Structure 1
Amino acid sequence: MLLAAKIVTAAVLLIHVYIVLLETVLFRTRGRRVFGLSAEKAEIVQAAMSNQGCYNGFLVAALALGLLYPDAAVARAFNVFGLCCVAVAGMWGAATVSTRILFVQTAPAVAGLALVLLA
């Protein structure tokens, strides 16, 4: 069970690395297309998206600490915290932006959280 928890947590981490890149470095190109924004709309929301990408980077950091921290109890706490934050952010995104976020972000985080808690 512990291996499955680590695999799913790592997958959630990688999803969020991609999201960070889409919202920051790649926003004007691929990010704009993924989010379905016109060039004009992207110009308006670019600063907000970059800020959002920064926050997603903090989620990545929490999950990375959860996977890499040498003390198992501290690592588990980071995993639980990071996965809960991702799940809540995903539910908010699904409610306010697109229900697709529920499947891309929330479902993997909830699965990972369940596996971490069962491990």
Structure 2
Amino acid sequence: MKDESQSLEPRVTATPAALEFLDEIRADHPDILFHQSGGCCDGSSPMCYPASEYRVGETDVKLGEIGGVPFYISGSQFDVWKHTQLIIDVVPGRGGMFSLDNGRERRFLTRSRLFAGGEACPLPGR
């Protein structure tokens, strides 16, 4: 696993609404993690799992933490999104089937913005 959490500009951030929703989920599940979905149906949905029930892969990249919760993305997806900052927000709706936000009538959503010139750190070994 590669750790990209030490960039000058954070690679992942969260809105106040997302942090509040995250606190609600952590009241029920204190030890969790995020993994950015790459599936066809939930491509813009970060999935939230109990940390003990999700195995972080060797090629997954840790982008950072939001609200003290680690946030990962697959290496292949990171290669596509490495020039963007992910902004985790919350919207009305149902979360992914296995995600802890499912059934709460709100779900996490990933928004993004391109890094401006020189904002993102060079990627070691890439």
Could you say which TM-score interval applies, normalised by the shorter chain?
Answer: under 0.3
Bigger Cα Rg: 1
Question: Would you tell me which structure has more strand in proportion to its own residues?
Answer: 2
Higher relative contact order (CA 8 A, sep 6+): 1
